[in-house]
Amino acid sequence: MRSDASLYAFTNSLQPVRRAWTQAAGRVLAGMGLSTSLATLVLLASRLGPNVQQKILALELGINPAALVRLLDQGEAAGVLVRNDVEGDRRSKAIELLPEGRRLAERMERTLAELRRQLLGDVPRAEIDAATRMLRLLEERAARWLQDDRVR
């Protein structure tokens, strides 16, 4: 059994690590001509595939739909994406990256891959894999706990 101090240290490190990564990624993406929020949206839209539904994108970004609408407006104004109607569902929209958005997403992916190599390239793969498994396990168990808690 792990000590409470170890469990505390692990969970207490999540937010500072997220903040540091977000700041570092934001710094390398700053030269792309998009805000960090819009750059993140473009990356996720690229990763989630063509015509990702707006509600899925909002969920993945962890923002409310109203905030997403403002970001999508910015993305359309920047010429990186377009909103399309979803066939059979008048209330839903799908997000499609335009050629400039796809080019930017590819460039951002290369830039972030280089940053990951700079920050973690010397860490043994087994340690990276173990850390990833631990984070995913925590995510899965917290989600299950939240779901079970709704039933109680």
Say which residues have a Cβ less than 8 Å from residue 97's Cβ, sequence separation at least 6.
42, 45, 46, 50, 80, 81, 105
Fold entry, domain 19-114: Arc Repressor Mutant, subunit A (1.10.10)
Residue with tokens 């043994």: 124
Q: Where are the domains of the chain?
A: 19-114, 123-152
CA distances from 26 to 10, 29, 39, 151 (A): 24, 5, 9, 39
Structure tokens at 120: 């973690």
Q: Which of 124, 78, 120 is nearest to 101 (CA)?
A: 78
Q: What is the pLDDT along the chain (152 residues), one digit of tens a residue?
A: 568 999 999 999 999 999 999 999 999 988 888 888 899 999 999 999 888 999 899 999 989 888 899 999 999 999 999 999 888 877 888 999 999 999 999 999 999 999 999 999 999 999 999 999 999 999 999 999 998 876 55
First to last CA, the chain: 27
